[in-house]
A and B are shown apart, each in its own frame.
Chain A
Amino acid sequence: MATPILEVEKLTKYFGGLAAVKDVSFAVPEQHIYGFIGPNGAGKTTLFNMIAGALEPSAGHIRSRGKDVTGHRPFSLVKSGIARTHQIVCPFRAMTVLENVQVAAHFGRKNITRTAAARDHARQVLAWVGLDHQADTLAANISLGDQKRLELARALATDPELLLCDEICGGLNPKETRAMLDLLERIRQNGTTIMYVEHDVKAIMAVCDHVMVLNYGQKLAEGKPEEIQNDPAVIEAYLGKAGSQKKGSRPVA
Protein backbone atom coordinates (compact mmCIF):
# COMPACT_ATOMS: atom_id res chain seq x y z
CA MET A 1 0.00 0.00 0.00
CA ALA A 2 1.22 3.51 -0.80
CA THR A 3 2.10 5.87 2.06
CA PRO A 4 -1.09 7.47 3.35
CA ILE A 5 -1.31 11.20 2.81
CA LEU A 6 -1.89 11.65 6.52
CA GLU A 7 -1.14 9.40 9.47
CA VAL A 8 -2.27 10.23 12.98
CA GLU A 9 -0.92 8.23 15.88
CA LYS A 10 -2.35 8.27 19.42
CA LEU A 11 -3.18 11.94 19.10
CA THR A 12 -4.26 13.47 22.41
CA LYS A 13 -5.31 16.92 23.58
CA TYR A 14 -6.03 17.90 27.16
CA PHE A 15 -7.75 21.15 28.13
CA GLY A 16 -6.94 21.22 31.82
CA GLY A 17 -8.20 17.88 33.05
CA LEU A 18 -10.52 17.29 30.10
CA ALA A 19 -9.32 14.98 27.37
CA ALA A 20 -10.93 16.61 24.32
CA VAL A 21 -9.17 14.08 22.07
CA LYS A 22 -7.59 10.92 23.44
CA ASP A 23 -5.36 8.34 21.72
CA VAL A 24 -6.93 8.76 18.32
CA SER A 25 -5.10 6.98 15.48
CA PHE A 26 -5.96 6.63 11.82
CA ALA A 27 -4.54 6.92 8.32
CA VAL A 28 -6.09 8.79 5.40
CA PRO A 29 -5.40 7.25 1.99
CA GLU A 30 -4.89 9.52 -0.97
CA GLN A 31 -7.99 10.83 -2.79
CA HIS A 32 -10.35 9.58 -0.13
CA ILE A 33 -13.09 11.57 1.51
CA TYR A 34 -12.59 10.61 5.12
CA GLY A 35 -15.53 11.55 7.34
CA PHE A 36 -15.82 12.23 11.05
CA ILE A 37 -19.05 12.24 13.00
CA GLY A 38 -19.82 12.45 16.68
CA PRO A 39 -22.01 14.34 19.14
CA ASN A 40 -21.34 17.95 20.15
CA GLY A 41 -18.08 18.22 22.05
CA ALA A 42 -16.81 14.86 20.77
CA GLY A 43 -13.51 16.47 19.82
CA LYS A 44 -13.84 16.74 16.03
CA THR A 45 -12.82 20.39 15.75
CA THR A 46 -10.03 19.88 18.30
CA LEU A 47 -8.70 17.03 16.15
CA PHE A 48 -8.73 19.28 13.07
CA ASN A 49 -7.13 22.12 15.00
CA MET A 50 -4.19 19.87 15.87
CA ILE A 51 -3.75 18.58 12.35
CA ALA A 52 -3.92 22.10 10.88
CA GLY A 53 -1.47 23.39 13.47
CA ALA A 54 -3.81 25.73 15.35
CA LEU A 55 -3.39 23.68 18.54
CA GLU A 56 -0.34 21.84 19.78
CA PRO A 57 -1.10 18.21 20.68
CA SER A 58 -0.57 17.10 24.28
CA ALA A 59 0.71 13.76 22.96
CA GLY A 60 0.88 11.72 19.78
CA HIS A 61 2.15 12.22 16.26
CA ILE A 62 0.98 13.58 12.93
CA ARG A 63 2.74 12.55 9.73
CA SER A 64 2.14 14.09 6.35
CA ARG A 65 3.32 11.74 3.57
CA GLY A 66 5.58 10.04 6.08
CA LYS A 67 7.11 13.31 7.31
CA ASP A 68 6.54 14.22 10.96
CA VAL A 69 4.64 17.52 11.11
CA THR A 70 3.50 17.37 14.75
CA GLY A 71 3.37 20.84 16.26
CA HIS A 72 4.13 22.63 12.98
CA ARG A 73 2.59 26.07 12.64
CA PRO A 74 -0.43 26.57 10.34
CA PHE A 75 1.43 28.68 7.77
CA SER A 76 4.11 26.04 7.28
CA LEU A 77 1.51 23.26 7.06
CA VAL A 78 -0.19 25.23 4.29
CA LYS A 79 3.12 25.14 2.44
CA SER A 80 3.22 21.36 2.85
CA GLY A 81 -0.25 21.13 1.35
CA ILE A 82 -2.63 21.00 4.32
CA ALA A 83 -5.45 23.55 4.34
CA ARG A 84 -8.60 23.87 6.41
CA THR A 85 -11.98 25.57 6.58
CA HIS A 86 -13.47 26.80 9.85
CA GLN A 87 -16.67 25.61 11.48
CA ILE A 88 -17.24 29.23 12.50
CA VAL A 89 -16.53 31.23 9.36
CA CYS A 90 -13.83 33.87 9.70
CA PRO A 91 -13.60 35.86 6.46
CA PHE A 92 -11.53 39.05 6.31
CA ARG A 93 -14.66 41.12 6.59
CA ALA A 94 -13.21 44.40 5.38
CA MET A 95 -11.84 42.78 2.23
CA THR A 96 -13.79 41.87 -0.87
CA VAL A 97 -14.49 38.23 -1.58
CA LEU A 98 -11.85 38.32 -4.30
CA GLU A 99 -9.23 39.84 -1.98
CA ASN A 100 -9.95 37.16 0.61
CA VAL A 101 -9.07 34.49 -1.92
CA GLN A 102 -6.17 36.55 -3.27
CA VAL A 103 -4.46 36.29 0.14
CA ALA A 104 -4.61 32.50 -0.14
CA ALA A 105 -3.27 32.61 -3.70
CA HIS A 106 -0.31 34.72 -2.57
CA PHE A 107 0.62 32.76 0.51
CA GLY A 108 -0.45 29.21 -0.26
CA ARG A 109 1.59 26.57 -2.01
CA LYS A 110 1.49 28.48 -5.29
CA ASN A 111 3.30 31.33 -3.55
CA ILE A 112 2.32 33.87 -6.22
CA THR A 113 4.18 37.17 -5.87
CA ARG A 114 2.53 39.39 -8.49
CA THR A 115 -0.80 40.81 -7.36
CA ALA A 116 -2.34 40.59 -10.84
CA ALA A 117 -1.44 36.90 -11.11
CA ALA A 118 -2.78 36.20 -7.62
CA ARG A 119 -6.03 37.94 -8.54
CA ASP A 120 -6.32 35.84 -11.69
CA HIS A 121 -5.85 32.65 -9.71
CA ALA A 122 -8.37 33.85 -7.12
CA ARG A 123 -10.90 34.59 -9.87
CA GLN A 124 -10.52 31.09 -11.27
CA VAL A 125 -11.09 29.52 -7.87
CA LEU A 126 -14.13 31.73 -7.26
CA ALA A 127 -15.60 30.70 -10.60
CA TRP A 128 -14.90 27.09 -9.75
CA VAL A 129 -16.84 27.22 -6.46
CA GLY A 130 -19.55 29.38 -8.03
CA LEU A 131 -18.87 32.57 -6.12
CA ASP A 132 -17.56 34.73 -8.97
CA HIS A 133 -20.71 36.88 -9.01
CA GLN A 134 -19.78 38.08 -5.50
CA ALA A 135 -16.10 38.74 -6.27
CA ASP A 136 -16.22 42.48 -5.63
CA THR A 137 -18.58 42.40 -2.66
CA LEU A 138 -17.24 42.96 0.83
CA ALA A 139 -17.00 39.61 2.61
CA ALA A 140 -18.98 41.06 5.53
CA ASN A 141 -21.96 41.59 3.24
CA ILE A 142 -22.50 38.12 1.76
CA SER A 143 -24.89 35.44 3.07
CA LEU A 144 -23.80 32.67 5.44
CA GLY A 145 -24.05 30.16 2.61
CA ASP A 146 -21.69 32.27 0.52
CA GLN A 147 -19.36 32.74 3.49
CA LYS A 148 -19.14 28.96 3.83
CA ARG A 149 -18.31 28.81 0.14
CA LEU A 150 -15.70 31.53 0.65
CA GLU A 151 -14.08 29.44 3.40
CA LEU A 152 -13.78 26.65 0.88
CA ALA A 153 -12.54 28.96 -1.90
CA ARG A 154 -9.81 30.38 0.32
CA ALA A 155 -8.63 26.95 1.39
CA LEU A 156 -8.68 25.72 -2.21
CA ALA A 157 -6.71 28.72 -3.44
CA THR A 158 -3.78 27.60 -1.27
CA ASP A 159 -3.62 24.58 -3.62
CA PRO A 160 -3.89 21.88 -0.93
CA GLU A 161 -3.26 18.15 -1.23
CA LEU A 162 -5.29 17.57 1.92
CA LEU A 163 -8.32 19.67 2.73
CA LEU A 164 -9.90 19.70 6.19
CA CYS A 165 -13.56 20.73 6.03
CA ASP A 166 -15.27 21.44 9.35
CA GLU A 167 -19.07 21.55 9.01
CA ILE A 168 -19.19 23.39 5.70
CA CYS A 169 -22.90 22.52 5.44
CA GLY A 170 -23.80 23.70 8.94
CA GLY A 171 -26.69 26.16 8.68
CA LEU A 172 -27.32 25.53 4.98
CA ASN A 173 -30.67 24.48 3.52
CA PRO A 174 -31.04 21.08 1.75
CA LYS A 175 -30.48 22.56 -1.69
CA GLU A 176 -27.34 24.43 -0.65
CA THR A 177 -26.15 21.31 1.16
CA ARG A 178 -26.58 19.21 -1.98
CA ALA A 179 -24.59 21.77 -3.99
CA MET A 180 -21.83 21.84 -1.38
CA LEU A 181 -21.56 18.04 -1.39
CA ASP A 182 -21.32 18.08 -5.19
CA LEU A 183 -18.49 20.56 -4.84
CA LEU A 184 -16.67 18.30 -2.39
CA GLU A 185 -17.02 15.45 -4.83
CA ARG A 186 -15.54 17.60 -7.62
CA ILE A 187 -12.66 18.68 -5.41
CA ARG A 188 -11.82 15.07 -4.72
CA GLN A 189 -12.01 14.22 -8.42
CA ASN A 190 -9.46 16.99 -8.97
CA GLY A 191 -7.03 14.98 -6.87
CA THR A 192 -7.43 16.56 -3.43
CA THR A 193 -7.88 14.35 -0.40
CA ILE A 194 -10.58 15.51 2.02
CA MET A 195 -11.21 15.11 5.71
CA TYR A 196 -14.77 16.03 6.44
CA VAL A 197 -16.58 16.75 9.71
CA GLU A 198 -20.34 17.15 9.64
CA HIS A 199 -23.27 16.66 12.00
CA ASP A 200 -25.50 15.71 9.12
CA VAL A 201 -25.00 11.95 9.13
CA LYS A 202 -26.74 11.43 5.80
CA ALA A 203 -24.42 13.95 4.17
CA ILE A 204 -21.39 12.14 5.57
CA MET A 205 -22.67 8.75 4.49
CA ALA A 206 -23.45 10.09 1.02
CA VAL A 207 -19.97 11.35 0.14
CA CYS A 208 -17.44 9.58 2.39
CA ASP A 209 -15.36 6.53 1.50
CA HIS A 210 -14.49 5.95 5.13
CA VAL A 211 -16.02 7.21 8.36
CA MET A 212 -14.79 7.52 11.92
CA VAL A 213 -17.11 7.99 14.87
CA LEU A 214 -15.77 9.99 17.80
CA ASN A 215 -17.33 10.01 21.23
CA TYR A 216 -15.94 11.85 24.26
CA GLY A 217 -12.67 12.38 22.44
CA GLN A 218 -12.15 8.72 21.62
CA LYS A 219 -12.54 6.58 18.55
CA LEU A 220 -15.79 4.65 18.85
CA ALA A 221 -15.70 2.98 15.47
CA GLU A 222 -14.41 3.34 11.94
CA GLY A 223 -15.10 1.73 8.62
CA LYS A 224 -17.02 2.08 5.40
CA PRO A 225 -20.28 4.04 5.67
CA GLU A 226 -22.43 0.91 5.52
CA GLU A 227 -20.35 -0.81 8.20
CA ILE A 228 -20.70 2.21 10.47
CA GLN A 229 -24.42 2.41 9.96
CA ASN A 230 -24.78 -1.20 11.11
CA ASP A 231 -22.29 -1.07 13.98
CA PRO A 232 -24.24 -1.82 17.19
CA ALA A 233 -21.94 0.33 19.35
CA VAL A 234 -22.45 3.28 17.04
CA ILE A 235 -26.20 2.81 16.85
CA GLU A 236 -26.30 2.56 20.62
CA ALA A 237 -24.13 5.63 21.32
CA TYR A 238 -24.92 7.92 18.47
CA LEU A 239 -26.77 6.95 15.35
CA GLY A 240 -29.74 5.47 17.16
CA LYS A 241 -30.57 8.85 18.61
CA ALA A 242 -28.89 11.16 16.14
CA GLY A 243 -29.43 9.45 12.81
CA SER A 244 -33.12 10.06 12.45
CA GLN A 245 -34.25 12.68 14.93
CA LYS A 246 -31.29 14.79 15.93
CA LYS A 247 -31.69 18.52 15.63
CA GLY A 248 -29.55 20.09 12.97
CA SER A 249 -29.09 16.93 10.94
CA ARG A 250 -31.11 17.06 7.77
CA PRO A 251 -31.74 14.22 5.41
CA VAL A 252 -30.07 14.62 2.06
CA ALA A 253 -32.02 13.70 -1.04
Chain B
Amino acid sequence: MTTAVFAPSRLEARARLVLPGLLLVVLALLPTAGLTPNLIRLLFITFVWVTASLGWNLLGGFTGQVSFGFAVFYGLGAYTAALMIDRGVNPYLSFLGAALIPALASFFIGLPTFRLRGPYFAIATIGVSEATRVIMNNLAITGGASGFRIVEHRPFRQVDHYYTALAMAALAVAVSFLIQHSKFGMGLRAIKQDEEAAADLGVNPYAYKLAIHAVAAALTGMAGGVFARYAAFIYPQGVFSFQTSVYILLMPVIGGIGTVWGAVLGGVVFGMVEEQLVANFPQIHLLLYGSLLILIILAEPDGLAGLLGKLFRRLRTPR
Protein backbone atom coordinates (compact mmCIF):
# COMPACT_ATOMS: atom_id res chain seq x y z
CA MET B 1 0.00 0.00 0.00
CA THR B 2 1.25 3.45 -0.77
CA THR B 3 0.01 6.64 0.74
CA ALA B 4 -0.77 9.26 -1.83
CA VAL B 5 -0.55 12.88 -0.79
CA PHE B 6 -1.95 15.19 -3.37
CA ALA B 7 -0.67 18.69 -3.84
CA PRO B 8 -3.41 21.21 -3.13
CA SER B 9 -4.69 23.17 -6.07
CA ARG B 10 -4.85 26.93 -6.00
CA LEU B 11 -8.57 26.84 -5.35
CA GLU B 12 -8.09 24.48 -2.46
CA ALA B 13 -5.42 26.77 -1.06
CA ARG B 14 -7.92 29.62 -1.13
CA ALA B 15 -10.62 27.50 0.42
CA ARG B 16 -8.21 26.88 3.26
CA LEU B 17 -8.29 30.58 4.07
CA VAL B 18 -12.07 30.67 4.39
CA LEU B 19 -12.38 28.81 7.67
CA PRO B 20 -9.63 30.68 9.54
CA GLY B 21 -11.02 33.95 8.16
CA LEU B 22 -14.49 33.11 9.41
CA LEU B 23 -13.10 32.12 12.79
CA LEU B 24 -11.26 35.41 13.04
CA VAL B 25 -14.42 37.39 12.21
CA VAL B 26 -16.45 35.49 14.81
CA LEU B 27 -13.78 36.03 17.46
CA ALA B 28 -13.57 39.71 16.57
CA LEU B 29 -17.35 40.11 16.95
CA LEU B 30 -17.64 38.11 20.16
CA PRO B 31 -17.04 40.99 22.61
CA THR B 32 -19.98 42.88 21.08
CA ALA B 33 -22.25 39.93 21.90
CA GLY B 34 -22.31 40.73 25.57
CA LEU B 35 -19.79 38.25 26.94
CA THR B 36 -19.08 38.40 30.64
CA PRO B 37 -15.74 39.96 31.61
CA ASN B 38 -14.72 36.59 32.97
CA LEU B 39 -15.27 34.90 29.61
CA ILE B 40 -13.38 37.65 27.81
CA ARG B 41 -10.52 37.17 30.26
CA LEU B 42 -10.53 33.42 29.61
CA LEU B 43 -10.39 33.98 25.85
CA PHE B 44 -7.61 36.54 26.32
CA ILE B 45 -5.52 34.04 28.28
CA THR B 46 -6.26 31.40 25.66
CA PHE B 47 -4.93 33.64 22.84
CA VAL B 48 -1.76 34.20 24.88
CA TRP B 49 -1.26 30.46 25.35
CA VAL B 50 -2.04 29.74 21.70
CA THR B 51 0.69 32.18 20.67
CA ALA B 52 3.28 30.60 22.97
CA SER B 53 2.21 27.15 21.81
CA LEU B 54 2.68 28.13 18.16
CA GLY B 55 6.07 29.63 19.02
CA TRP B 56 7.32 26.42 20.62
CA ASN B 57 5.87 24.40 17.76
CA LEU B 58 8.06 26.20 15.22
CA LEU B 59 11.18 24.89 16.93
CA GLY B 60 9.94 21.68 18.53
CA GLY B 61 7.30 20.65 16.01
CA PHE B 62 8.65 21.92 12.69
CA THR B 63 12.34 21.46 13.42
CA GLY B 64 12.45 18.68 16.02
CA GLN B 65 14.47 20.61 18.61
CA VAL B 66 12.86 20.05 22.00
CA SER B 67 13.24 22.91 24.45
CA PHE B 68 12.34 22.77 28.13
CA GLY B 69 13.18 26.42 28.56
CA PHE B 70 10.63 28.58 26.78
CA ALA B 71 9.76 30.24 30.11
CA VAL B 72 12.97 32.21 29.57
CA PHE B 73 11.47 33.88 26.50
CA TYR B 74 8.00 34.21 28.01
CA GLY B 75 9.49 35.79 31.14
CA LEU B 76 11.92 38.04 29.29
CA GLY B 77 9.07 39.25 27.09
CA ALA B 78 6.92 39.90 30.14
CA TYR B 79 9.64 41.88 31.92
CA THR B 80 10.69 43.78 28.79
CA ALA B 81 7.13 44.98 28.20
CA ALA B 82 6.67 45.71 31.90
CA LEU B 83 9.80 47.87 32.14
CA MET B 84 9.05 49.72 28.91
CA ILE B 85 5.41 50.45 29.79
CA ASP B 86 6.53 51.54 33.23
CA ARG B 87 8.84 54.09 31.59
CA GLY B 88 5.95 55.48 29.59
CA VAL B 89 6.64 53.71 26.29
CA ASN B 90 3.54 53.03 24.21
CA PRO B 91 2.42 49.49 25.16
CA TYR B 92 2.18 48.36 21.53
CA LEU B 93 5.76 49.45 21.00
CA SER B 94 6.71 47.60 24.16
CA PHE B 95 5.38 44.37 22.61
CA LEU B 96 7.97 44.76 19.84
CA GLY B 97 10.61 44.98 22.56
CA ALA B 98 9.06 41.91 24.15
CA ALA B 99 9.68 40.05 20.89
CA LEU B 100 13.13 41.43 20.19
CA ILE B 101 14.88 40.86 23.53
CA PRO B 102 13.92 37.15 23.75
CA ALA B 103 14.94 36.69 20.10
CA LEU B 104 18.39 38.05 20.97
CA ALA B 105 18.51 35.90 24.10
CA SER B 106 17.78 32.79 22.03
CA PHE B 107 21.25 33.05 20.50
CA PHE B 108 22.90 32.66 23.90
CA ILE B 109 21.35 29.21 24.16
CA GLY B 110 21.49 28.24 20.49
CA LEU B 111 24.99 29.40 19.48
CA PRO B 112 26.91 27.05 21.80
CA THR B 113 24.50 24.08 21.73
CA PHE B 114 23.03 23.73 18.22
CA ARG B 115 26.44 22.74 16.88
CA LEU B 116 26.61 19.75 19.20
CA ARG B 117 25.08 16.43 18.40
CA GLY B 118 22.86 14.77 20.96
CA PRO B 119 20.59 16.15 23.66
CA TYR B 120 22.86 19.07 24.59
CA PHE B 121 20.38 21.66 23.43
CA ALA B 122 17.48 20.19 25.42
CA ILE B 123 19.63 19.91 28.55
CA ALA B 124 21.05 23.40 28.16
CA THR B 125 17.55 24.88 27.92
CA ILE B 126 16.76 23.57 31.43
CA GLY B 127 19.98 24.99 32.85
CA VAL B 128 19.64 28.41 31.23
CA SER B 129 16.00 28.58 32.24
CA GLU B 130 16.69 27.88 35.91
CA ALA B 131 19.70 30.22 35.95
CA THR B 132 17.57 33.03 34.50
CA ARG B 133 14.91 32.52 37.14
CA VAL B 134 17.50 32.70 39.93
CA ILE B 135 19.01 35.86 38.46
CA MET B 136 15.60 37.49 38.09
CA ASN B 137 14.77 36.56 41.66
CA ASN B 138 17.73 38.67 42.75
CA LEU B 139 17.69 41.51 40.25
CA ALA B 140 17.12 44.83 42.00
CA ILE B 141 15.69 46.92 39.13
CA THR B 142 12.82 44.50 38.64
CA GLY B 143 12.05 44.12 42.31
CA GLY B 144 13.60 40.65 42.51
CA ALA B 145 11.49 37.82 43.86
CA SER B 146 8.77 40.12 45.16
CA GLY B 147 7.77 40.95 41.61
CA PHE B 148 7.11 44.00 39.48
CA ARG B 149 3.97 46.08 39.37
CA ILE B 150 3.19 47.77 36.06
CA VAL B 151 1.63 51.16 36.40
CA GLU B 152 0.05 52.23 33.15
CA HIS B 153 -1.25 55.78 33.06
CA ARG B 154 -4.29 55.15 30.94
CA PRO B 155 -7.70 53.66 31.66
CA PHE B 156 -7.93 49.86 31.64
CA ARG B 157 -10.21 48.64 28.86
CA GLN B 158 -10.53 44.89 28.77
CA VAL B 159 -11.52 44.69 25.10
CA ASP B 160 -8.26 46.42 24.11
CA HIS B 161 -6.39 43.57 25.70
CA TYR B 162 -8.71 41.07 24.07
CA TYR B 163 -8.13 42.47 20.57
CA THR B 164 -4.39 42.77 21.11
CA ALA B 165 -4.15 39.12 22.11
CA LEU B 166 -6.41 38.04 19.25
CA ALA B 167 -4.32 39.95 16.71
CA MET B 168 -1.16 38.43 18.16
CA ALA B 169 -2.53 34.87 17.97
CA ALA B 170 -3.65 35.50 14.38
CA LEU B 171 -0.15 36.78 13.60
CA ALA B 172 1.35 33.63 15.10
CA VAL B 173 -0.94 31.45 12.97
CA ALA B 174 -0.07 33.44 9.84
CA VAL B 175 3.68 33.31 10.55
CA SER B 176 3.44 29.56 11.15
CA PHE B 177 1.64 28.92 7.87
CA LEU B 178 3.94 31.20 5.89
CA ILE B 179 6.99 29.40 7.26
CA GLN B 180 5.43 25.98 6.73
CA HIS B 181 4.79 26.65 3.05
CA SER B 182 8.13 28.28 2.27
CA LYS B 183 11.66 27.22 1.36
CA PHE B 184 12.61 27.97 4.97
CA GLY B 185 9.94 25.53 6.15
CA MET B 186 11.14 22.81 3.77
CA GLY B 187 14.63 23.21 5.21
CA LEU B 188 13.27 22.87 8.75
CA ARG B 189 11.32 19.72 7.84
CA ALA B 190 14.43 18.23 6.30
CA ILE B 191 16.47 19.03 9.43
CA LYS B 192 13.84 17.47 11.64
CA GLN B 193 13.99 14.19 9.76
CA ASP B 194 17.69 13.83 9.03
CA GLU B 195 20.13 16.58 9.74
CA GLU B 196 23.02 14.98 7.83
CA ALA B 197 20.93 14.24 4.76
CA ALA B 198 19.63 17.81 4.85
CA ALA B 199 23.18 19.19 4.95
CA ASP B 200 24.13 16.95 2.02
CA LEU B 201 21.43 18.69 -0.02
CA GLY B 202 22.64 22.17 0.86
CA VAL B 203 20.71 23.02 4.04
CA ASN B 204 22.79 24.67 6.76
CA PRO B 205 21.23 23.09 9.87
CA TYR B 206 23.07 25.30 12.35
CA ALA B 207 21.98 28.56 10.76
CA TYR B 208 18.42 27.34 10.27
CA LYS B 209 18.04 26.17 13.86
CA LEU B 210 19.35 29.49 15.13
CA ALA B 211 16.94 31.39 12.90
CA ILE B 212 13.80 29.46 13.83
CA HIS B 213 14.77 29.52 17.51
CA ALA B 214 14.82 33.31 17.31
CA VAL B 215 11.41 33.48 15.60
CA ALA B 216 9.97 31.07 18.18
CA ALA B 217 11.46 33.13 21.00
CA ALA B 218 10.02 36.34 19.54
CA LEU B 219 6.46 34.96 19.41
CA THR B 220 6.72 33.49 22.90
CA GLY B 221 8.21 36.70 24.26
CA MET B 222 5.42 38.76 22.73
CA ALA B 223 2.90 36.46 24.40
CA GLY B 224 4.65 37.11 27.70
CA GLY B 225 4.57 40.85 27.10
CA VAL B 226 0.86 40.94 26.24
CA PHE B 227 0.12 38.84 29.30
CA ALA B 228 2.20 41.10 31.56
CA ARG B 229 0.34 44.24 30.53
CA TYR B 230 -2.97 42.59 31.35
CA ALA B 231 -1.82 41.02 34.61
CA ALA B 232 -0.20 44.32 35.68
CA PHE B 233 1.86 42.33 38.14
CA ILE B 234 4.52 39.73 37.33
CA TYR B 235 7.06 37.85 39.40
CA PRO B 236 9.92 35.49 38.45
CA GLN B 237 8.42 32.46 40.21
CA GLY B 238 5.48 32.82 37.85
CA VAL B 239 6.61 33.78 34.35
CA PHE B 240 10.09 32.25 34.61
CA SER B 241 9.04 29.04 36.38
CA PHE B 242 9.85 25.59 35.07
CA GLN B 243 6.12 24.99 35.17
CA THR B 244 5.63 27.70 32.55
CA SER B 245 8.18 25.92 30.33
CA VAL B 246 6.31 22.65 30.79
CA TYR B 247 2.99 24.30 29.92
CA ILE B 248 4.40 25.78 26.73
CA LEU B 249 5.81 22.41 25.68
CA LEU B 250 2.69 20.53 26.68
CA MET B 251 0.23 22.49 24.54
CA PRO B 252 1.57 21.59 21.08
CA VAL B 253 2.14 18.02 22.21
CA ILE B 254 -1.45 17.68 23.43
CA GLY B 255 -2.82 19.34 20.32
CA GLY B 256 -0.66 17.70 17.70
CA ILE B 257 3.04 18.37 17.40
CA GLY B 258 4.31 19.78 14.13
CA THR B 259 0.99 20.95 12.72
CA VAL B 260 -0.26 24.54 12.98
CA TRP B 261 -3.83 23.68 13.93
CA GLY B 262 -2.59 21.07 16.40
CA ALA B 263 -0.60 23.72 18.25
CA VAL B 264 -3.62 26.06 18.18
CA LEU B 265 -5.92 23.34 19.47
CA GLY B 266 -3.50 22.48 22.26
CA GLY B 267 -3.38 26.13 23.31
CA VAL B 268 -7.18 26.41 23.26
CA VAL B 269 -7.74 23.26 25.30
CA PHE B 270 -5.06 24.23 27.76
CA GLY B 271 -6.30 27.81 28.08
CA MET B 272 -9.83 26.59 28.77
CA VAL B 273 -9.04 23.91 31.33
CA GLU B 274 -5.90 25.16 33.04
CA GLU B 275 -7.58 27.44 35.58
CA GLN B 276 -10.23 24.86 36.39
CA LEU B 277 -7.61 22.22 36.96
CA VAL B 278 -5.50 24.45 39.16
CA ALA B 279 -8.57 25.56 41.12
CA ASN B 280 -10.06 22.11 41.60
CA PHE B 281 -6.94 19.98 41.90
CA PRO B 282 -4.27 22.30 43.24
CA GLN B 283 -2.11 19.45 44.49
CA ILE B 284 -2.26 17.10 41.55
CA HIS B 285 -2.86 19.24 38.49
CA LEU B 286 0.75 18.78 37.31
CA LEU B 287 0.37 15.05 37.79
CA LEU B 288 -2.72 15.19 35.57
CA TYR B 289 -0.71 16.92 32.83
CA GLY B 290 2.04 14.35 33.17
CA SER B 291 -0.43 11.49 32.83
CA LEU B 292 -2.09 13.17 29.87
CA LEU B 293 1.30 13.62 28.22
CA ILE B 294 2.18 9.94 28.64
CA LEU B 295 -1.25 8.91 27.41
CA ILE B 296 -0.88 11.00 24.27
CA ILE B 297 2.64 9.83 23.51
CA LEU B 298 1.54 6.20 23.87
CA ALA B 299 -1.92 6.30 22.28
CA GLU B 300 -1.98 9.18 19.81
CA PRO B 301 1.41 10.74 19.01
CA ASP B 302 -0.31 13.14 16.61
CA GLY B 303 -2.28 14.64 19.48
CA LEU B 304 -5.86 15.84 19.48
CA ALA B 305 -5.54 17.09 15.91
CA GLY B 306 -4.50 13.61 14.81
CA LEU B 307 -7.40 12.09 16.71
CA LEU B 308 -9.91 14.51 15.21
CA GLY B 309 -8.49 13.89 11.75
CA LYS B 310 -9.00 10.15 12.17
CA LEU B 311 -12.57 10.62 13.40
CA PHE B 312 -13.32 12.97 10.54
CA ARG B 313 -11.99 10.55 7.94
CA ARG B 314 -13.97 7.71 9.47
CA LEU B 315 -17.19 9.74 9.31
CA ARG B 316 -16.54 10.71 5.71
CA THR B 317 -15.74 7.23 4.42
CA PRO B 318 -18.98 5.50 3.53
CA ARG B 319 -19.14 1.88 4.59
Residues in A lying within 8 Å of B, measured CB to CB:
52-54, 73-76, 78-79, 83-84, 86, 90-96, 98-99, 102-104, 106-109, 112-115, 118-119, 134, 136-138, 141-142, 154-155, 157-158
Contact = CB atoms under 8 A, between A and B. Distances in A.
Contacts of A52: 200
A108 B202 contact: yes
Contacts of A104: 201-202
B4 interface: yes
B201 A78 contact: yes
Given A118-B183, A136-B7, A75 B204 contact: yes
A103 B186 contact: yes
Secondary structure call for the A interface: mixed
A91 B5 CA distance: 17
A107 B187 contact: yes
Contact of B202 (A79, A99, A114, A137): A79
A79 B199 CA distance: 11
Interface string B196-237: 111111111100000000000000000000000000000000
Contact of B186 (A93, A106, A109): A106
Contact of A75 (B182, B186, B202): B202
Contacts of A137: 2-4
A91 B197 CA distance: 8
Nearest to A84: B200
29 contacts: A73-B204, A74-B196, A75-B199, A75-B200, A78-B202, A79-B202, A83-B200, A83-B201, A90-B194, A92-B190, A93-B193, A95-B190, A98-B7, A103-B186, A103-B189, A103-B190, A103-B198, A103-B201, A104-B201, A106-B183, A106-B186, A106-B187, A112-B183, A115-B181, A136-B6, A137-B3, A137-B4, A141-B2, A142-B2
Nearest to A141: B2
Nearest to B4: A136
Given A83-B201, A109-B202, A142-B2, 8 more contacts: A73-B204, A74-B200, A75-B199, A75-B204, A103-B187, A107-B201, A138-B5, A141-B3
B196 A54 contact: yes
Nearest to B181: A115
Contacts of B198: 92, 103, 107
B243 to A, nearest CB: 32
A104 B200 CA distance: 9
Interface in B171-200: 181-183, 186-187, 189-190, 193-194, 196-200
A86 B4 contact: no
A86 B199 CA distance: 13
B46 to A, nearest CB: 30
A99 B180 CA distance: 13
Contact of A95 (B4, B187, B193, B202): B193
Closest 4 CB pairs of A and B: A107-B202, A78-B202, A74-B199, A92-B193
Listed residue (A92, A94, A113, A118) with the most chain B CB atoms within 10 angstroms of its CB: A92
B19 interface: no
Nearest to B198: A103
A141 B193 contact: no
Contacts of B18: none
A186 B123 CA distance: 49
Listed residue (A73, A75, A109, A115) with the most chain B CB atoms within 10 angstroms of its CB: A75
Nearest to B183: A106
A154 B201 contact: yes
B62 to A, nearest CB: 12
Contacts of A92: 189-190, 193-194, 197-198
B5 A158 contact: no
Nearest to B197: A90
A78 B205 CA distance: 14
A119 B204 CA distance: 20
B1 interface: yes
Contacts of A78: 200-202
A141 B1 contact: yes
A40 to B, nearest CB: 22
A54 B200 contact: yes
Interface in B1-51: 1-7
Contacts of B2: 134, 137-138, 141-142
Listed residue (B2, B181, B197) with the most chain A CB atoms within 10 angstroms of its CB: B197
A104 B194 CA distance: 13
B178 to A, nearest CB: 11
Given A136-B7, A141-B2, A107 B203 contact: yes
A99 B130 CA distance: 40
A154 B203 CA distance: 13
B199 A99 contact: no
A105 B89 CA distance: 46
